[in-house]
Amino acid sequence: MNVEQVMRLAPVIPVLVIEDAAHAAPIAEALVKGGLFALEVTLRTPAALDVIREMSKVEGAVVGAGTVLNAADVEKSVAAGATFIVSPGLTTGLCESARDTGVPLLPGTANASDIMRGLDQGLTHFKFFPATAAGGLPALKSLTGPFGAVRFCPTGGITLATAPDWLALDAVLCVGGSWIVPAGPPDLAAIEARAREAAALSA
């Protein structure tokens, strides 16, 4: 599966910060049942790699690693079962590592220079991050002019209420959403309900 196929699995990719690997499979099952299949597990907790391992066992879940900062993170994530990589930024080393391992990469970009560095690396799909803080919809609309062939997954500060505005842009294939699985003990019924709402959005 390439990065565009991952981005087209559903209009929202849940951005997950999970502290306890015991919660991983039930959360993944609730998300998949709700219609969200691409799951981004951020490397922000000590349990993250174990969470990736457990979620990867759930049928229908396409599990990626987020907050990937360097080649070592890429290698550990892929070894744990991550099938795509998401980063808050873009470096040559990160691009080379993803290319060497053959894993799809969705690097973070916030401006034209970031995108141009990515294009130099042969990439055409990017995370626009932090979406709201980096200028929001007006900023991304401005960037789609000179970069008409580029496709984006805006992430950062997006909510269920604002997601449709982002998804209305032709250049946006999906958005990243942290609202679907809030911090704390998981309420699986509520997670599934929020996943259904998100999956019903149009991309």
Cα 10 to its chain centre, rounded Å, is 11
Is 40 an annotated catalytic residue? yes
**Dist. CA 102–CA 125, nearest whole Å:** 15
Query: Which residues, in sequence order, are CB contacts of 124 under 8 Å at separation 6+?
Result: 118, 149, 150, 151
Strand partners, 16: 41
Which of 29, 40, 54, 192 is an active site residue?
A: 40
C-beta separation of 73 from 43 below 8 A: yes
**Dist. CA 132–CA 197, nearest whole Å:** 21
Which of 54, 57, 59, 127 is an active site residue?
A: 127
Catalytic residues: 40, 127
